Chains A and B, each alone.
Chain A
Amino acid sequence: MTGKLKNLDDLRRLRDETKRVMEDRMASETKIIVGMGTCGIAAGAREVMTAILEELDKRQLSVNVLQTGCIGMCQNEPLVDIVRPEQGRITYGRVTPQDVPRIVGQHVVNGQIVEDLVIGRTD
């Protein structure tokens, strides 16, 4: 926690800092984002999240695993996004725990997108 914001300048400073950190994170670090809205959880996102953490642990990888809300494609939940430098944010749909080793091994480690599960990308 950043501490109390005493005025508008504090807020602006924090905003600019966070913006930079968020952009930095997009560019230089790999992260995995799991859709954890009610729709995601109902479709099995929690199991997928557990599988991801186990897989990362097994491979001794330090990758940020984050959660987010519903992006609207409830039909395709559980959704998992992989953000890698230069590749932007790639979304996989209907991910099962069995798919996790492939996504982590192929995409997170080697940067090769898992074609049959991919849905789309955002910047």
Chain B
Amino acid sequence: MEIYRAHVLVCGGTGCTSGGSPRIKALLEEELAKNGLEKEVNLVVTGCHGLCEMGPLVIVYPEGTMYVHVQPDDVADIVEEHLLKGRIVERLLYKEPITAERVPQYRELPFYHKQKRTVLRNCGYINPEIIEEYIGRDGYSALGKALIEMTSDEVIQEVLDSGLRGRGGAGFPTGLKWGFCRKATGEPKYIVCNGDEGDPGAFMDRSILEGDPHRVLEGMAIGAYAIGASEAVIYVRAEYPLAVRRLHLAVKEAEEMGLLGDNILGTDFSLHIRIKEGAGAFVCGEETALMASIMGQRGMPWPRPPFPANSGLWGKPTNINNVETWANIPDILLRGADWFASMGTEKCKGTKVFALTGNVQNTGLLEVPMGITMREIIYDIGGGVPGGRKFKAVQIGGPSGGCLPESQLDLPVDYESLTGAGAIMGSGGLVVMDDSNCIVDVARFFLNFTRAESCGKCTPCREGIMRMLEILDRISAGEGKMEDLDLLERTARIIQDTALCGLGQTAPNPILSTLRYFRDEYEAHIKEKRCPAGVCTALLTYYIKPDLCRGCTACTKVCPVGAITGERKEVHVIDPEKCIKCGACAERCPFDAIILA
């Protein structure tokens, strides 16, 4: 028997043979002979190894190296590299296929690690268009429990004990609100679901309505039972066509099953839910304007009192809660007030859903226990600011909220802390901004939004916001004065105190919070006529860096106003008086020598 220093095994199983292993074997023989290795290396054809998917297979001993998917072109490499030089051909190596055990669990992913998904438990998990899937996840069991085992007062007490507060933003205790409406006199009573989610960058309610519509319906049915209402309306934006479609479908399915409509689950409790599409006015998220819109009137708020609990839709007692509030109800009844109260902080129980957008790695929808810090949300869940840029601010609560800087990121997220810092919880929109955003411009953006959405009914909001916006326009155009900042602040305070509804009262928040935390940036615009982030075009000038300019004259040729001068092969200069800031030169410069500063 001959002694070989190496054995090369070529698979001759059916799979590898049809994959071309006989040709591989022939080529190996040729290559071995060419290199004079036929006496040192033994070539063996084997039976099937079972890994047919990876064939043709070639295994080299004594190392036991397995090469997979070996093609005729690879043979020379195996012989020359491995058998002659002793170097393994990495690219042909068998890679361990990934197994289910090696795929990280959702809860191990950083994005989900700190989340606590209760309201969103079914979102992305069940088919929202099949009611049985919701029922299979204990859906409508809470309604059954309430109707058959609990009195209305017990339901209200349970919600009160849970500590649930309105998720629309103001944070009023839900159980108290229900109690007011229950005690109010007048028939019929109405309940309303506020799905008029209008904040730029917010999509919590939409995701719930799209992903788990029955949860909201069940919450409303429980609320109606507790309050003594038999009519309900869901007010949802027409801009959410998928949510609208799934809601219609969900109501129809639930009615067909006897979970909505007359005599629910054989009891004498009945509830009819209808869906009203809103036309997308931001102010209609305010409860009185929303009710006006439902009644077919122009969407404008009315002064409170009387509160909706006593005089709402058609002058009857009405209870309005936001989508997320309703979605919290089924689990509170099913798992108990204690379970709910075990999450969150002393004053703020449960979880909150946030929509995370802007300059952050993982934009998306998340649910966290109350009391988590903003830093954990942005960095641990959101993955931080991408592109190596620096965090600058986070806008929480949309146009009614405030801008918080780095120094406030360790605040616990709850209603009181955020209000204290000059922001609000709002409905849960979080817009992260990096250092390429100009704070004055951001304040202007939000103010322009509330200006456009102001219904015009009360003077402070209609006139005040317009005047503040004019001041901001002046500042970003480089025409601001230091007195403007005091004027801004005073106007903002007056609007806060005197506007009719929440839209006006909270509209100054972006101004006040940015003045509080980013005053230096306002001052840079006013005193130095400089926009540190390089956003306000009126304050920027194009400038040629002398060390980078090669005098190629490319810029002079594209400048439409002849503002650039300079001899060939010498440093060029832009005349700021003539320059119209079109940016054509910076685009054209092959050396990136022209910058905006």
C-alpha gap A35/B127 in the complex (Å): 10
Q: With A15-B141, A38-B240, A71-B124 in contact, do A121 and B364 touch (Cβ < 8 Å)?
A: no
Spell out A's residues near B (CB within 8 Å): 1-8, 10-12, 14-15, 18-19, 21-22, 33, 35, 37-39, 41, 66-75, 79, 86-88, 90-91, 110, 112-113, 115, 118-123
Q: A22-B136, A38-B242 are in contact. List 20 more A-B contacts (CB 8 A).
A: A3-B257, A8-B266, A11-B144, A11-B265, A15-B136, A15-B138, A19-B136, A37-B207, A38-B207, A39-B364, A67-B127, A67-B129, A70-B124, A70-B211, A72-B366, A74-B364, A75-B361, A110-B53, A112-B53, A120-B103
| A–B pairs, 28, beta carbons within 8 Å | A4-B256, A6-B265, A11-B135, A11-B140, A11-B265, A15-B138, A18-B133, A22-B136, A37-B210, A38-B207, A39-B203, A69-B123, A69-B124, A70-B211, A70-B365, A71-B365, A72-B112, A72-B120, A73-B362, A79-B124, A86-B100, A88-B100, A90-B103, A110-B53, A112-B53, A121-B105, A122-B105, A122-B125
Chain B minimum-CB-distance residue to A115: B98
Interface residues on B, range: 35 or more
CB under 8 Å from chain A, chain B span 107-126? 108-109, 111-112, 115, 117, 120, 123-126
* Chain A residues with CB below 8 A from B366, complex form: 72
| Contact bitstring B493-515, A, C-beta under 8 A = 1, else 0 | 00000000000000000000000
* Chain B residues with CB below 8 A from A88, complex form: 100
C-alpha gap A4/B266 in the complex (Å): 10
* Chain B residues with CB below 8 A from A70, complex form: 123-124, 207, 210-211, 365
C-alpha gap A55/B106 in the complex (Å): 28
* Chain B residues with CB below 8 A from A113, complex form: 97-100, 103
**Would B136 and A21 count as touching, CB distance under 8 A?**
yes
Chain A minimum-CB-distance residue to B362: A75
Q: With A14-B132, A18-B136, A69-B123 in contact, do A119 and B109 touch (Cβ < 8 Å)?
A: yes
**Would A118 and B103 count as touching, CB distance under 8 A?**
yes
C-alpha gap A74/B138 in the complex (Å): 26
Q: With A6-B266, A7-B266, A8-B265 in contact, do A72 and B105 touch (Cβ < 8 Å)?
A: no
* Chain A residues with CB below 8 A from B109, complex form: 119-120
C-alpha gap A35/B258 in the complex (Å): 29
CB under 8 Å from chain A, chain B span 136-151? 136-141, 144, 147-148
The 8 Å CB contact of B124, one of A3, A8, A35, is A35
Whether a CB of chain A sits under 8 angstroms from the CB of B42 is no
C-alpha gap A7/B120 in the complex (Å): 28
Q: With A37-B242, A118-B98 in contact, do A4 and B103 touch (Cβ < 8 Å)?
A: no
Q: With A2-B257, A69-B124, A88-B100 in contact, do A122 and B266 touch (Cβ < 8 Å)?
A: no
A32 to chain B, nearest CB (A): 12
Closest 10 A/B residue pairs (Cβ): A69-B211, A71-B124, A18-B136, A72-B365, A7-B266, A4-B258, A74-B364, A70-B207, A87-B100, A8-B144
**Would B211 and A5 count as touching, CB distance under 8 A?**
no
**Would A72 and B97 count as touching, CB distance under 8 A?**
no
Whether a CB of chain A sits under 8 angstroms from the CB of B530 is no
